[in-house]
Structure 1
Amino acid sequence: MPKTDTYRKHHDDLRAIAARLETHLDAAAIADNPAAVATVVRELFGKFSVHLAIEDNTLYPSCLAHADLKVRDTARRFQAEMGDLGQDFDTYKKAWPGPLAIARDPVGFVTASRDMLTRLKARVAREEAEFYALVDKAA
């Protein structure tokens, strides 16, 4: 079993939640029923937060101490890049904490959500293709 199987499973879950969220990103529908999209957003918040915590506390520390310089350097680079996405995700969470906030600005919510999902999916794809592949090969 590759070392990154658990993290890849989390990525699969994140992609599935993102796909569900994308189906809700219609400002008119959100204005009519903000609770429906808020439920999916809460699920994304939970899964992404757990994934980051596990990566930050297990995978990245072990890779930063790895004997292979390429693994260490790649882990350092990805961890630095993730800091920006993690902070931006926290800002997104604070801006859209529930249905009332979402209902106040459905168009803004749709724009912010599409941006966050684009960045999250790009990060997941890069992490799997560049970092996880390297970690599995070095394990």
Structure 2
Amino acid sequence: MDISRFKADHQVIAKGIADLRLLVQQGLAQNADRIVEHLHQLSAKIKLHLNAEDAVLYPALMRQSASAPAETARQFQSEMGDLAKVYGAFTQKWAYGKLIVDNQDAFKADANTVFQALHERVRRENQELYPLAEQV
């Protein structure tokens, strides 16, 4: 199975998250509007990627006769299938720079939770799921 698109998406998403973290580290108050803009730009890529995995990659692997790809895909979808919705709720909640400035600690906590979950999904897919998909 050709998963080069999914792998390329992971690289783009990782860079986007790193860029976002840099903006946060440089200061929420002075970068709040840029953070919101960056979140929305990154949002499109993340949502498309997660939805493509959930709608295309996981089901394709679940249809395999080999048990390892099918079971791993089921497990991933079960554990992480709603991440696109969680990310969407996060970006809607923090849609304005003023909200971030006025609630910096809450934004940092929410961002840390969402991006840690996203990072974990990408890491596990790269290490566990994608090698199986490439063998199919």
Instruction: State the TM-score, normalized to the length of structure 2.
Output: 0.89
Task: Give the secondary-structure state (helix, strand or coil) at the position aligned to 1:133.
Answer: helix
Q: Does 1:62 align with 2:35?
A: no
| Distance in 2 separating the partners of 1:46 and 1:71 | 28
Cα distance, 1:132 vs structure 2: 0.5
Match of 2:125 in 1: 127
CA distance in 1, matches of 2:91, 2:75: 25
| Structure 1 residue ranges without an equivalent (≥5) | none
Shift of 1:96: 1.0
1:110 is matched with 108
Instruction: Trace 1:8-23 onto structure 2 (pairs within 5 A).
Output: 8-23=7-22
Alignment partners' CA distance in 1, 2:36 and 2:91:
11
Q: Do the aligned partners of 1:11 and 1:124 also contact (CA within 8 Å) in 2?
A: yes
Q: Deviations over 1:20-54 (max 9, x none)?
A: 0110124x822234111111111221111010122
Do 2:23 and 2:31's aligned partners in 1 also have CA atoms closer than 8 Å? Answer: no
In 1: Cα distance, 2:50 partner to 2:83 partner: 11
Q: Distance in 1 between matches of 2:83 and 2:48?
A: 15
Q: C-alpha root-mean-square deviation of aligned residues, in Å?
A: 1.8
The aligned runs of 1:14-53 (5 Å cut-off) are: 14-26=13-25, 29-53=27-51
**Distance in 2 between the 1:129 and 1:17 partners?**
20
Seq. identity, %: 26
Deviates more, 1:119-128 or 1:82-91: 82-91
Please report the TM-score for the alignment, with normalisation by the length of structure 1. 0.87
- Give how far 1:91 is off: 2.7
Tell whether the 8 Å contact from 1:22 to 1:114 is kept in structure 2 after alignment.
Answer: no
Identify unmatched segments of 5+ residues in structure 2: none
Matched letter for residue 12 of structure 2 = D
AA aligned to 2:9 is: H
